[in-house]
């Protein structure tokens, strides 16, 4: 056992400190350690294998922190790479937490780099967050020269951070600060101040009330440059930040759908991930890749199978003719023409009606009888929960049936068949 566990320097060091008890056993007391995560660590130590497929991303991130604490360098590197390459959307959603944790330990160099690359483009993610003032100093000074933010705002945020580190200063403006207060603030910000671009007309007025926290020669040089921009000074002048100018589109971008909008897509995405609350448009983790559009490609079953056979993770949406109704369904399994009249079992499919116009709320209906979740037949288009010629949602040409059979609740008030003016099928893919 000692031989196996010795691959962790942490355990080796801990065991060296501990004396054996009366039973000749050494016990390491691991307080505040998740049993579930520790089981994964132990399996890795003994077998060198770690399986992440069914693990929640927050669990994997906490596992990364634990692996680093246990000095398991190879596992730490693997988990860090996995999060960056496979779970980047989750990192963006929880950016403030990730940013703080990555700079609490200098071992997460790749994660720090990922955070800074992201922050350069989207500085508000951290600067406008409630946790901004709790950032560690090394996280603040790591910000790059191409940070997409005006220097005046950067100065204001730096002052805000410095004041927050000293509770006795938090209720004071610069006019209320004593010489001792300024010295405290200067000491707190000593590693941040060298990164400010001082020689800009637009920030001098904001700097002046805090001139006491600057080196005397620096303030003199700022004044010299204001009166004579060509005058030589001794202070180092940092180059301007590289602010990227947004490019104007040459033409309006085509909407991804003629049936649903971005808000609908975000709501559907939240159902796929079984979230209690809908994603915002910005946080939708999925791209919707159009496979079929009825008015462009046709409404026939042949068209459906030609474009969608063997495709998985698909969303079907239909626009009911002459109404505001938008109906649809999600099939995580493959559409399989070769099954010819057989059902595909599925635990995670669902059908829905979307809020739109006079339709004041959306309806979600998850599969109940999983054996009859998806029906495959060459004579029909997409079909959820078929029963004879009908189904919970079944398309035959541009005529659609919608009766409750295999799914939890009905998504229409009537059982009558109806025609559709448009329908689309998308394949969902995780955003990079």
The structure's pTM equals: 0.47
Residue 111, domain member (yes or no): yes
Share of the chain above pLDDT 90, in %: 38
What whole-number distance in Å separates Cα of residue 394 and Cα of residue 382?
Answer: 6
Residue 156, domain member (yes or no): yes
Share of the chain above pLDDT 70, in %: 88
What whole-number distance in Å separates Cα of residue 123 and Cα of residue 355?
Answer: 34
Q: Which of 204, 227, 250 is the last residue in one of the domains?
A: 227
| Number of domains forming the structure of the chain | 2
pLDDT value for 422:
93
- Which pair of structure tokens corresponds to residue 92? 């963006």
Residue 270, domain member (yes or no): yes
120 — pLDDT class (breaks 50, 70, 90): confident
Greater model confidence, 108 or 18? 108
Do 178 and 266 fall into the same domain?
no
Q: What is the mean pLDDT of the segment spanning 75-93?
A: 87
Do 223 and 118 fall into the same domain?
yes
What whole-number distance in Å separates Cα of residue 78 and Cα of residue 41?
Answer: 13
According to DSSP, the residues that pair with 427 across neighbouring strands are: 289, 314
Residue 257, domain member (yes or no): no
- pLDDT at residue 368 above 80? yes
Compute the mean pLDDT over every residue in the chain, rounded to the nearest whole number.
84
Most confident of 162-166, 295-299, 315-319: 315-319
Do 193 and 280 fall into the same domain?
no
Q: What is the mean pLDDT of the segment spanning 73-78?
A: 89
Q: Which of 174-178, 186-190, 254-258, 308-312 has the lowest mean pLDDT?
A: 254-258
- pLDDT at residue 252 above 60? no
Do 41 and 104 fall into the same domain?
yes
Residue 423, domain member (yes or no): yes
Q: What is the mean pLDDT of the segment spanning 72-96?
A: 86
Give Cα separations from 286 to 90, 281, 352, 432 (angstroms): 12, 10, 18, 9
pLDDT value for 4:
39
- pLDDT at residue 172 above 80? no
Do 29 and 98 fall into the same domain?
yes
Residue 245, domain member (yes or no): no
1 — pLDDT class (breaks 50, 70, 90): very low
pLDDT value for 28:
62
Q: What is the mean pLDDT of the segment spanning 120-134?
A: 79
pLDDT value for 205:
85
- On whether the CB atoms of residues 318 and 259 are closer than 8 A, the answer is yes
What whole-number distance in Å separates Cα of residue 398 and Cα of residue 402?
Answer: 13
Residue 252, domain member (yes or no): no
253 — pLDDT class (breaks 50, 70, 90): very low
- On whether the CB atoms of residues 423 and 397 are closer than 8 A, the answer is no
pLDDT value for 318:
95
Longest dimension (CA), the chain: 89
Do 164 and 296 fall into the same domain?
no
Q: What is the mean pLDDT of the segment spanning 365-385?
A: 93
- Which pair of structure tokens corresponds to residue 171? 């209720």
Do 284 and 192 fall into the same domain?
no
Classify the phi-psi angles of 66: left when phi > 0, otherwise alpha if psi is within -120 to 50, otherwise beta.
alpha
Q: What is the mean pLDDT of the segment spanning 98-125?
A: 85
Do 93 and 33 fall into the same domain?
yes
Do 180 and 103 fall into the same domain?
yes
pLDDT one-digit tens code per residue, 307-345: 999 999 999 999 999 999 999 999 999 999 988 888 999
pLDDT value for 60:
92
Residue 249, domain member (yes or no): no
Give the domain extent around 425. 262-430
First to last CA, the chain: 42
Do 110 and 185 fall into the same domain?
yes
- pLDDT at residue 7 above 80? no
Do 174 and 32 fall into the same domain?
yes
Greater model confidence, 252 or 397? 397
Do 322 and 418 fall into the same domain?
yes
Greater model confidence, 25 or 264? 264
Q: Which of 176, 201, 227 is the last residue in one of the domains?
A: 227
């Amino acid at each position: 056992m000692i031989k196996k566990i010795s691959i962790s320097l942490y355990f080796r060091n801990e065991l060296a400190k501990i004396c054996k008890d009366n039973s000749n056993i050494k016990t390491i007391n691991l307080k505040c350690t998740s049993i579930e995560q520790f089981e994964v660590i132990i399996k890795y130590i003994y077998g060198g294998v770690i399986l992440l497929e069914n693990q929640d991303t927050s669990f994997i991130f906490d596992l990364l922190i634990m692996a680093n604490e246990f000095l398991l360098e190879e596992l730490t590197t693997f988990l860090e790479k996995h999060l960056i390459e496979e779970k980047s959307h989750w990192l963006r959603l929880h950016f403030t937490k990730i940013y703080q944790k990555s700079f609490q330990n200098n071992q997460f160099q790749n994660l720090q780099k990922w955070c800074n690359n992201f922050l350069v483009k989207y500085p508000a993610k951290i600067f406008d967050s409630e946790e901004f003032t709790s950032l560690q100093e090394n996280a603040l000074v790591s910000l790059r020269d191409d940070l997409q933010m005006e220097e005046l705002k950067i100065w204001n945020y730096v002052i805000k951070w410095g004041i927050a580190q000293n509770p006795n200063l938090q209720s004071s403006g610069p006019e209320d600060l004593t010489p001792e207060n300024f010295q405290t603030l200067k000491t707190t910000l000593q590693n941040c101040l060298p990164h400010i671009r001082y020689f800009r007309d637009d920030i001098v007025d904001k700097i002046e009330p805090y001139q006491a926290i600057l080196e005397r020669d620096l303030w003199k040089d700022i004044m010299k440059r204001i009166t004579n921009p060509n005058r030589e000074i001794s202070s180092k002048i940092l180059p301007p930040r590289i602010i990227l100018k947004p490019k104007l589109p040459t033409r309006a971008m085509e909407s991804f759908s003629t049936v649903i909008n971005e808000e609908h897509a975000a709501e559907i995405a939240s159902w796929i991930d079984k979230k209690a609350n809908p994603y915002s448009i910005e946080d939708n983790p999925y791209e919707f890749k159009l496979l079929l559009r009825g008015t462009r490609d046709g409404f026939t079953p042949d068209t459906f199978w030609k474009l969608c056979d063997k495709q998985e993770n698909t969303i079907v949406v239909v626009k009911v003719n002459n109404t505001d109704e938008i109906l649809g369904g999600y099939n995580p399994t493959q559409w399989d023409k070769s099954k010819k009249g057989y059902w595909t079992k599925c635990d995670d499919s669902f059908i829905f009606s979307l809020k739109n116009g006079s339709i004041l709320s959306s309806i979600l209906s998850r599969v109940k009888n999983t054996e009859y979740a998806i029906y495959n037949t060459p004579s029909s288009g997409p079909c959820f929960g078929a029963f004879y010629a009908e189904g919970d949602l079944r398309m035959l040409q541009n005529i659609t049936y919608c009766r409750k059979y295999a799914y939890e609740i009905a998504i229409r008030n009537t059982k009558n068949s109806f025609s559709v003016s448009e329908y689309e099928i998308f394949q969902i893919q995780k955003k990079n």
